[in-house]
Amino acid sequence: MDLDKFSILEDDVLGTAGPELSVVSAMHRAAGSELTSRLVDVSWREVDSAARIVIADGSSSAVPMRRGLQLAGYHAVRQVHDVHELLREMRGGHADLVLLDPESPGFSGSAVLQAAGVDPEIRGIPIVIVSHDQGPESRREALELGASDFLKKPTDVTELLPRVRNLLVVRRYYCQEVEFEERVEGEVQRRTRDLQESRDRLILCLARAAEHRDNETGNHVIRVGRYTSIIARQLGYPEDDLEMLEQAAQMHDVGKIGIPDSILFKPATLAVDEYELMKKHCAFGRQIIEPYTGRDWDLLKRHTHAGGNLLRSSSCTLLSMAARIAQSHHERWDGSGYPLGLKGEDIPLEGRIVAVADVFDALSSRRPYKPPFPRDQCFEILRDGRGRQFDPAVLDAFFECSAEIVEVQLLLMDSEDTPREASD
């Protein structure tokens, strides 16, 4: 028998089959035992009865194809009559495989394939082109647009069923891979959040360790970080880096850990030698924060695996920024600051911003040697430092967003720091 001439379009065979008649017995009557044997081989292994198959063909010639699939064990076969209905089925999650006749009225094969290539909701759904036109050029164009396979009309059941089965296996693996990737991505995001939270807490603990040695309260570092972020945004600092800048600013005084208690807690004015030692907290801060490199890094990794995990990157942007701030936030615009005597724009921008934020918070907060100053007085002292202690552009940005800074001050102020205002 010429098997190529056997077609599922022999509707008289399938159309008269009773409900008890399987596709095997129907094919046996039509083509003999040889063909029946081949059908058993290719169509009854691993049939996914729940697979959702959409036949995109508005003509009556699709009916016997649908019946053949149903008789083969596929119970969720649906025929649609235009491209809008097809895309709705695909985007609604109702299609595991599409049999598309691009020549059928109401359909555009290229439109469907192009949509499948760019729409994440329908990407990965196999699309089989079923048509009379099977020339090399049309095949090439369809393949370039993402077609999964081809079937020629009239459709040969010995090709239809195994191709459908194989593509559904591919679809199943694709869905499993997508599900796996989503699970992995979710786990990565969860662990990243956990690491971020742990890092944030470590930074705050480190910053507060220095504060408590200086009898300052925990909110000081939080306020300075927030003020710094607000001023930086006003200056046009990169939006993506503002959160990192806020965290880095919280470590500006971590070097005070290296200052003796007798100096930190002295209620009177510091002697000259004491003040010189106090100024070293900037350099101490840089040494504490700056990422390890070279031989020191190798020794740390050998000494403790945990230490290696905490300081994994020798080029950690956050730590490098925090080290710059710790060292430079007491530099002055006119060059009279410490520890390096940097002047003007030689001072890192982050240090210039934190200088303003830190002084404002120190002025507006209670200290062992002074009460919180009224807000007007704080602002006046800052203005007096323009061009001498502070970068004029940074100071201008501070006053431009002073209303937002005051909101943060009121939100995070310590109980003993209720601000006194002459006028705002």
Final residue before a domain boundary, out of 157, 181, 205:
181
Q: Which of 31-45, 48-62, 235-249, 356-370 has the highest mean pLDDT?
A: 235-249
Residues 321, 173 within the same domain = no
Position 72, amino acid: A
**Per-residue pLDDT at 86:** 86
CA angle 121/127/133 to nearest 5° reads: 145
Region of poorest pLDDT, from 147-156, 187-196, 266-275: 266-275
Residue numbers of the domain that contains 337: 214-417
Task: Tokens for 311, please give them.
Answer: 């300081």
Q: What is the mean pLDDT of residues 351-364?
A: 96
Q: What is the mean pLDDT of residues 158-174?
A: 87
Share of the chain above pLDDT 90, in %: 25
Residues 231, 353 within the same domain = yes
Q: What b/e readout covers 82-97, taking b as 16+ CB neighbours within 10 angstroms? A: ebebbbebbeeeebbb
294-305 pLDDT per residue, tens: 555 455 444 444
* H helices present in 119-271, as ranges: 136-145, 157-213, 219-234, 242-249, 261-264
> pLDDT at residue 24 above 70?
no
Task: Give the H or E element holding residue 408.
Answer: helix 402-412
Residues 71, 120 within the same domain = yes
Residues 305, 347 within the same domain = yes
**236 vs 90: which has the higher pLDDT:** 236
pTM across the whole model? 0.53
Q: Say which CATH number the domain at 369 has.
A: 1.10.3210.10
For residue 306, name the pLDDT band (cuts at 50, 70, 90). very low
Q: How far apart are CA 154 and CA 4, in angstroms?
A: 10
DSSP helix/strand/coil, 110: helix
**Per-residue pLDDT at 344:** 96
Tell me what the pLDDT averaged over the chain comes to. Answer: 77
**326 vs 352: which has the higher pLDDT:** 352
> pLDDT at residue 385 above 90?
yes
> pLDDT at residue 201 above 70?
yes
Residues 144, 63 within the same domain = yes
Region of poorest pLDDT, from 103-117, 182-196, 335-349: 103-117
- Residue 56 CB burial class (10 angstroms; 0-12, 13-18, ≥19): buried
Q: How far apart are CA 24 and CA 11, in angstroms?
A: 15
> pLDDT at residue 32 above 60?
no
**47 vs 379: which has the higher pLDDT:** 379
Residue 368 lies in a domain: yes
**Per-residue pLDDT at 132:** 79
**Per-residue pLDDT at 213:** 53
Q: How many domains does the chain have?
A: 2
Residues 247, 103 within the same domain = no
**Per-residue pLDDT at 191:** 85
**Per-residue pLDDT at 351:** 96
> pLDDT at residue 130 above 80?
yes
Q: In Å, how far from its chain's centre is CA 26?
A: 55
